[in-house]
Amino acid sequence: MKTNIVIIGAGISGVSIAYNLAKMGQKGIIVIDKSYMTSGATGRCGAGVRQQWATKSNCEMAKRSIEFFEIAEETLQYEGGIEFKQEGYLILATNNEEVEQFKKNVELQNSIGIASRAITVDEALKIVPHLNPDSFLMATFCPTDGHLNPFLMTDAYYQAAKRLGVDFHFFENVKEIVSEHGQVQKVITDQDTYKTNIVVNAAGGYAREIGLMAGVEIPVYSEKHEILVTEPISRIQGPMVMSFSKNIYCQQVPHGSFLIGRGDPTVPHDHDITSTWHFLDEMAKTVADILPKIGELRVIRQWAGSYNMSPDKQPIISDVPTLEGFFLACGFSGHGFMFAPMTGILLSEIILKKPTTLDVGDYHLHRFKTNTIRETEKSVV
C-alpha cells in the first residue's frame, strides 16, 4: 500500500501530530499502533498539566499547550468534554536548596507571563487545608495549571483527526523500517507493507527500538513509574500537590478519586511495568507524612507505566539529519501528556519545512551528538 505519512504510535503525541498534519492540509496519513488507543504511557499517566518548569523551553511548551487545552473542546468539537480541571499545581519546597531553586523558577516563569507565585506555608494551607504544615518550608502555586482526563483528551484528537481523513490502524505491530540512499522508503508491519517517504516515531517507551529499526540511535530509555488510585470521595482538593524532594504527586480528579504517584530512581532501564508492594508501602508513608487525611482513603487499584527518558529530561521533537523523512517525538521524560498540543504543532511544522511557532533548538536530536545540550530540566518527579 502506498501512503504519504505513517505515524507509529497512537498515544497523545501520535494523535496530536496526526490531527495537526491533517489540519495543515496533509492527506494520506496513517497512524499505526500495536495495541488499543492509550495503551502506552498516555493511558497510564497522571495527566497533570503544569507550567511551573525550570527551563524556558519547557515553560513555553507548557504555557502554549495549556492555552490549547482551555479551548480544546470547541476547537476539536468534542461533545463529551475532556474534564479539564484548572485549579492549579501547588509545589512544596522541603529543603533550602528547593527554596532557592523555586524562587529562580518563579522568576523565569513570570518573565514569560506564567502566573506562578511563591507562597508561605500559611497561604498554602488556605489553598489545601489538609496539608501537614510541618512537612514543607514554602511552596509555589500557579492557578492555571491543572488536570485532564487522558482517555478523553486522546479520543478528542482521534475523532477530530478521523474527521479530517486520518486512517487509524490499531492492533498492528511495526516490525521493520526500510530506507535507501538516506531516505525512508517503507514501513513493514505484521499485517502489511506501506510505501511512504515520511515516518514519524511517536512510539513512547519503544521509541529507541523504532529508531533502531531505521538505523537511528536515539539516546532514550524507558523507566517504570508507579501510580495508584483511591476510592472516590466528595471534593476536598483543588490543585495537584507535588514535591520533587519527597517524590510525590497527588491530585483529586473530578470523579472524586485521588491519583498518587512517584518514580523510583533505582529501577532498571527497561520495559517492566509490573506493580510492586514496595511502591505501595513507600507511597503510603509519604502520603501519611504530607497529606495525613488522604491516608484515611482506601487504595482500589495500582498500576505502572514507562517514562521515556532523555539525557537532559527534555523532549526530542526533531528531524534526523542522517535519514531524510524520519521524524521524532519522544523522550518526553514524564511530561509528554501536557506538551502534546505543542508537540503536534511543532513536529508538523518541522515535517512540512515551515517556520516553527517556538524555537525548537533545545529539542533537536543533534544536541546529544554535538554535546550542545542547552539546559537540563530539574523539576521532575
Partner 1 sequence: MNKDKIIICRCSDVTLEDIHKLLEEGYTSFEDLKRLLRIGMGPCQGQTCAELVRKEIANFLHQKAETVPIHKTRPLTIGVKLRAIAEGAKDEN
Ligand X SMILES: Cc1cc2nc3c(=O)[nH]c(=O)nc-3n(C[C@H](O)[C@H](O)[C@H](O)COP(=O)(O)OP(=O)(O)OC[C@H]3O[C@@H](n4cnc5c(N)ncnc54)[C@H](O)[C@@H]3O)c2cc1C
User: Residues in the site for ligand X, rule: CB under 6 A?
Assistant: 8-14, 32-35, 39-42, 44-48, 173-174, 202-206, 210, 225, 227, 261, 305-307, 332, 334-338
Q: Does 36 bind partner 1 (CB under 8 A)?
A: yes
CA-wise closest residue to 317 among 10, 6, 12, 13: 13
CB-based contacts of 345: which residues, under 8 Å, 6+ apart?
Answer: 20, 357
Tell me how far CA of residue 319 lies from CA of 188, 198, 354, in angstroms.
21, 11, 13
Q: Does 130 bind partner 1 (CB under 8 A)?
A: no
Q: Does 29 bind partner 1 (CB under 8 A)?
A: no
Asked if residues 155 and 73 have their Cβ atoms less than 8 Å apart, the reply is no
Q: Does 172 bind partner 1 (CB under 8 A)?
A: no
Asked if residues 257 and 46 have their Cβ atoms less than 8 Å apart, the reply is no
Binding region for partner 1 (CB under 8 A) out of 182-190, 286-294, 332-340, 349-357: 286-294
Q: Quote the CA–CA distance of 101 and 80 in Å, as a whole number.
A: 40
Q: From partner 1, ligand X, none, which one binds at residue 294 (CB under 5 to 8 Å depending on kind)?
A: partner 1
- Residues 212-231: x where in contact with partner 1 by CB under 8 A, - otherwise, as a string: -----------------xxx
| Contacts to partner 1 from residues 250-269, by CB under 8 A | 255
Q: Does 110 bind partner 1 (CB under 8 A)?
A: no
Q: Does 247 bind partner 1 (CB under 8 A)?
A: no
CA-wise closest residue to 377 among 317, 312, 332: 312
As to burial, measured by CB atoms within 10 angstroms (0-12 exposed, 13-18 middle, 19+ buried), residue 104 is: exposed
> Least CB distance from residue 133 to ligand X, whole Å?
25
> Least CB distance from residue 263 to ligand X, whole Å?
8
Q: Kindly provide the b/e burial profile for residues 85-95, where b requires at least 16 CB atoms within 10 angstroms of the residue's own CB.
A: bbbbbbbbbbe
CB-based contacts of 34: which residues, under 8 Å, 6+ apart?
Answer: 171, 172, 173, 174
3-state secondary structure 156-212: HHHHHHHHCCCEEECCCCEEEEEEECCEEEEEEECCCEEECCEEEECCHHHHHHHHH
> Least CB distance from residue 171 to partner 1, whole Å?
8
Nearer to partner 1, 250 or 347 (CB): 250
Nearer to partner 1, 74 or 281 (CB): 281
Q: From partner 1, ligand X, none, which one binds at residue 285 (CB under 5 to 8 Å depending on kind)?
A: partner 1
Q: Does 281 bind partner 1 (CB under 8 A)?
A: yes
> Least CB distance from residue 127 to ligand X, whole Å?
19
> Least CB distance from residue 46 to ligand X, whole Å?
3
Residue 52 CA from chain centroid, whole number: 14
Nearer to ligand X, 297 or 381 (CB): 381
Among residues 152, 166, 210, 351, the one that binds partner 1 under rule CB under 8 A: 152
Q: Does 282 bind partner 1 (CB under 8 A)?
A: yes
Q: Does 297 bind partner 1 (CB under 8 A)?
A: yes
Q: Does 155 bind partner 1 (CB under 8 A)?
A: yes
Q: Quote the CA–CA distance of 112 and 55 in Å, as a whole number.
A: 11
Q: Which three cell numbers stand for residue 314?
A: 527534555
Q: Does 2 bind partner 1 (CB under 8 A)?
A: no
Query: Could you say which DSSP state residue 260 is in?
Result: E
Please report, as ranges, the residues that interact with partner 1 according to CB under 8 A: 36-39, 43, 151-152, 155, 170, 229-231, 255, 275, 280-285, 287-288, 292, 294-303
